[in-house]
Amino acid sequence: MHKYIYLLIVIVTIALIRILPVTLIRRKIDNRFIRSFLYYVPYVTLAVMTFPAIMEATGSPLAGAAALVLGIVAAWFGLGLFPVSIICCLVVFVLEFIL
């Protein structure tokens, strides 16, 4: 398949996901299971995509693992999106220099 077909599927799907609720749902969703399921989806999907992929993205798997641990520590102590990203990058940069 041509890469544009992939990109088109992704762009259209994302646009529909964003737009459909505000046009279709004018009332609150009552079903507790669906609301709970939707509540957990973002965290689970991001967690599944992060590990072990972060170890496969770096030259040395150990550096990726260290970035994960220190990123979690930084986020746990309240650092935001941008600082956590920078810390992960620095950990990999420094460790791959040593290793």
Partner 1 sequence: MNKKQAFLNGLRDGIPIGLGYYAVAFSLGIIARKAGLNAVEGFFNSILSRASAGEYAGLTMILTHATVVETFLVSFITNARYMLMTTALSQRFSPDTSVFKRIAVAFCMTDEIFGATIARPGYVIPQYTYGLTAIAGPLWGLGTASGIIAGGIMPARAVSALSVALYGMFIAIIIPPARRERPVLICVIVSFLLSYLCSDSCALPIPYVHEISAGTRTIILTVLISAVAALVAPVKEEGPEHA
Show contacts with partner 1 in window 57-76 (CB under 8 A).
57-59, 61, 63-64, 67-68, 71-72, 74-76
Smallest gap from residue 2 Cβ to partner 1 (A): 9
And the tokens for 78? 């309240």
Q: How many residues bind partner 1 (CB under 8 A)?
A: 76
Residue 88 beta carbon to partner 1: minimum distance, rounded to whole angstroms = 4
Q: Is 20 in the site for partner 1 (CB under 8 A)?
A: yes
Residue 83: C-alpha distances to residues 18, 65, 70 (Å): 28, 18, 12
Cα separation, 51 vs 63, in Å, equals 13
Task: Tell me which DSSP letter residue 40 carries.
Answer: H
Question: According to the binding rule CB under 8 A, does residue 13 interact with partner 1?
Answer: yes
